[in-house]
A and B are shown apart, each in its own frame.
Chain A
């Protein structure tokens, strides 16, 4: 059963714009992770945010976590064509396996 649900399912933007994806989940978590998947490839880990953290940055990525609302957002600033991919959130409770959402498909056009 899916724990995380990404929103929107698909997002199309122009190069240079910011892209924001959201993830909502149902039960308490230990951490939340974001992954990227390029077409025909495996998932690549982007960032992990723990339940006691509210915001984390990595290069052009900014992740926020609101445990009271059971939601997270991934912001990609100054998007590039190479950011075109599917993005998945994955949640983990203490000692449990990751549960992945269905993903947001991001298209960045030049």
Chain B
């Protein structure tokens, strides 16, 4: 059972570089989310999607873009990485009935360092 898979698991970037984090889920979930987790801050929502072709901003969207071209994939892009984006990034998905009333299923995270 793969569940939610995030690629890559680790990455080191230089300031100004760009990259894309990939999230894939095999549970046929409608809703997908990107969070960042920083020490002492808990999880903060970056962007989310309620279905293929739709995206919406979360609490901390600045500096990130997302795309949901296929139902099973949710991509998070950093166009010009900054040291403040050093964090652990988590993707999650949930079932279609109501994204606030269903448990979220998480990947194991991508650890990103920006030098």
Contact = CB atoms under 8 A, between A and B. Distances in A.
Interface of A: 1-2, 30-31, 33, 40-45, 48, 50, 88, 92-103
Interface in B1-21: 4
B107 A97 contact: no
A50 B100 CA distance: 11
Contacts of B100: 30-31, 92-98
Contact of A92 (B4, B59, B101, B107): B101
Contacts of B28: none
Given A1-B59, A95-B98, A97-B33, A45 B42 contact: no
Contact of B106 (A40, A44, A94): A44
B115 to A, nearest CB: 21
A90 to B, nearest CB: 8
Interface in B69-115: 90, 92, 98-101, 103-109
A42 B106 contact: yes
